[in-house]
Amino acid sequence: MKLVLLGPSGAGKGTQAKFLSKAYDIPHISTGDILRGHIARSTEIGLQIEHIMDTGKLVPDEIVIELVRERVIEPDCAKGFILDGFPRNLYQAKELCTMDFEIDKVICIRLDDEVIIKRMSGRFTCPECNSVYHTDYYPTKEKGICDACGSALIQREDDKEATVVNRLKIYHDMTEPIIAFFSGVHLLSEIDGLGTAEEISAQIMNLF
């Protein structure tokens, strides 16, 4: 089964992709994770894209499309895969349709901007042990200090409100037109992203 998960960053695509990956035993392909891997390994691509990703802008199409083309022909993708974060614009969506396979379903998780901004911009991360907290949903015992290891928490560049707002604008301008494109070819199902991860998984399972 070949699936595409659409929706803004912060709507819970990653969580649902992991759930589907387990349920159907197919790999979760997150272009964001692949790109962050390049940055962590300081590859040629990583050095080229680091500053782009820090601001939440889109990485050039040719880089992402090539990475996806290479990934989906790996042996673990023979039974299918879940694309999370790709396609991100109409050009990428059209390129996806020229690849050597058919997409079975596109699932779009919808969530209002205000909820996403609240979810994302309240997140703080420990630079030492990577624990993640939230000022409203998962606060630390002592403000700004990691419960697990006592280090001072930081806000990741891409969780800062200005970056989140910028990413949402890019989503509305560049990515949302894909929804109409896929609904035109009858592949699209829309899901309400408000609710617990379990409630959203249940809505998704009802689609199959």
Catalytic residues: 13, 88, 123, 156, 167
Q: How far is CA 133 from CA 143, 147, 164, 165, 198, in A?
A: 11, 9, 17, 20, 20
Give the angle 9-10-14 at the CA atoms, nearest 5°. 80
Structure tokens at 190: 């829309």
As to burial, measured by CB atoms within 10 angstroms (0-12 exposed, 13-18 middle, 19+ buried), residue 135 is middle
Does residue 11 contact residue 35 with C-beta atoms inside 8 Å?
Answer: no
| Minimum CB distance to ligand AMP, residue 147 (Å) | 26
- 32 near ligand AMP, rule: CB under 6 A: yes
In this complex, which beta carbon is closest to ligand AMP, that of residue 96 or of residue 188? Answer: 96
- 92 near ligand AMP, rule: CB under 6 A: yes
Structure tokens at 105: 């379903």
Contact string 99-138 vs ligand AMP (x = CB under 6 A): ----------------------------------------
- 9 near ligand AMP, rule: CB under 6 A: yes
- 163 near ligand AMP, rule: CB under 6 A: no
- 175 near ligand AMP, rule: CB under 6 A: no
- 31 near ligand AMP, rule: CB under 6 A: yes
Euclidean distance between CA atoms 22 and 123, whole angstroms: 26
In this complex, which beta carbon is closest to ligand AMP, that of residue 73 or of residue 148? Answer: 73
- Write out the residues near ligand AMP by the rule CB under 6 A: 9, 31-32, 35, 52-53, 56-59, 64, 85-86, 88, 92, 167
